[in-house]
């Protein structure tokens, strides 16, 4: 499925290829969610810990959205171990957007 406007709420994309690199993107006023992976995804999560991940998303010629978030901490005592490991990263929810987009590597 191609992108679908959910105006005024935002934008939603659902990938049609079950092995495609990006399966879902949701953009709302203060939220960016990306579900990606599978064999055709070129970004690796093969380090024991990512620490944090930055994302830059540009739809067409519009201004880019940026996110930079640490791994989500959970449990007691709080730990990022279950959310930041090889092949898995879950970001801390409600992390404020950076003042400036991180540089693209």
pLDDT digits (tens, 9 = 90+) for 82-99: 999 988 889 998 888 888
**pLDDT tens track for 5-33:** 555 678 888 888 888 888 888 888 777 78
CA separation for the pair 51, 89 (Å, rounded) = 9
Question: pLDDT for 30-64, tens place per residue?
Answer: 777 888 877 777 778 888 899 998 888 887 888 88
Instruction: Show the tokens assigned to 105.
Output: 């590597």
Q: Are 1 and 14 in contact (CB under 8 A)?
A: yes
Residue 14 has, within 13 A of its CA and on its CB side, a CA count of 5
Characterize the bridge pairing of strands 22-28 and 10-14: antiparallel
Cα 80 to Cα 76: distance, rounded to the nearest angstrom:
11
């Amino acid at each position: 499925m191609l992108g679908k406007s959910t105006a005024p709420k935002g934008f939603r994309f659902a990938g049609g290829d079950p092995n495609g690199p990006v399966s879902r993107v949701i953009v709302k006023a203060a939220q960016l969610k990306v579900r990606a992976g599978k064999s055709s995804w070129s970004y690796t999560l093969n380090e024991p810990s990512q620490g944090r991940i930055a994302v830059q998303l540009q739809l067409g010629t519009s201004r880019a959205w940026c996110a930079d978030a640490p791994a989500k901490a959970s449990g007691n005592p709080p730990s990022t171990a279950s959310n930041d490991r090889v092949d898995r990263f879950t970001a801390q929810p409600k992390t404020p957007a950076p003042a400036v987009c991180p540089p693209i590597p």
